[in-house]
Amino acid sequence: MAEGTHLSEQECWELLHSQEFGRMAYELDGQPNIVPLNYAVDGQQLVFRTAEGSTVHGLCQDRHVAFEVDQVVEEVGSSVVVRGTAVVLPPEEELRLEQVGLRAWLGDNRPVLIAIRPSEVHGRRYPLQRPWRSMLR
């Protein structure tokens, strides 16, 4: 199996900038939990909106999180994992964060602003072996 190539930190941030949707993992009541979410890049942090509820509750229990985004283009897959801490941002950050493209995809009110402040960012690019695709054409 191909091990792929490591992405530089700059390549990781370029991939993070190019996407809007990923998955965040965190601990909730002693159990691992993962949620899909849309996000924006704000400098050297990721930001997202959420409603009051289990995600915010989980982040208040254990602020260590992991975030993953991936991309498949033709026969190449790329993945970036960000590990860090999640912090609730003050409401007055809302207007500024709209300028970096932070929008709620679901169209409902998600007033809680959260930033993931990375302690580690790493990524890989893999050549994909998908011979069945040629059989479907």
Proportion of the chain above pLDDT 90, given as a percent: 52
Question: Model pTM?
Answer: 0.85
Residue 2 pLDDT > 60, yes or no? no
Give whole-number Cα distances, 60 to 37, 86, 119, in Å.
18, 9, 18
Helix, strand, or coil here: 116? strand
Whole-angstrom distance, CA of residue 29 vs CA of residue 20: 28
Burial of residue 31 (CB within 10 Å: 0-12, 13-18, 19+) is exposed
Give the pLDDT mean for 12-17.
97
Each domain of the chain, given as residue ranges in start order, spans 5-127
Q: Identify the CA nearest to 33 among candidates 60, 65, 69.
A: 65
Please report the pLDDT score of residue 1 as a whole number. Answer: 44
What top-level class would CATH report for the domain 5-127?
Answer: mainly beta
Residue 64 pLDDT > 90, yes or no? yes
Residue predicted with more confidence, 55 or 107 = 55
Residue 55 pLDDT > 60, yes or no? yes
Within 10 A of 24 (CB to CB), how many other CB atoms are there? 24
Residue 40 pLDDT > 80, yes or no? yes
| 68 within 8 A of 22, measured Cβ to Cβ | yes
pLDDT single digits (tens) 86-122: 998 888 887 787 778 777 767 666 678 899 999 999 9
Burial of residue 68 (CB within 10 Å: 0-12, 13-18, 19+) is middle
Highest mean pLDDT among 20-34, 85-99, 122-136: 20-34
Residue 23 pLDDT > 80, yes or no? yes
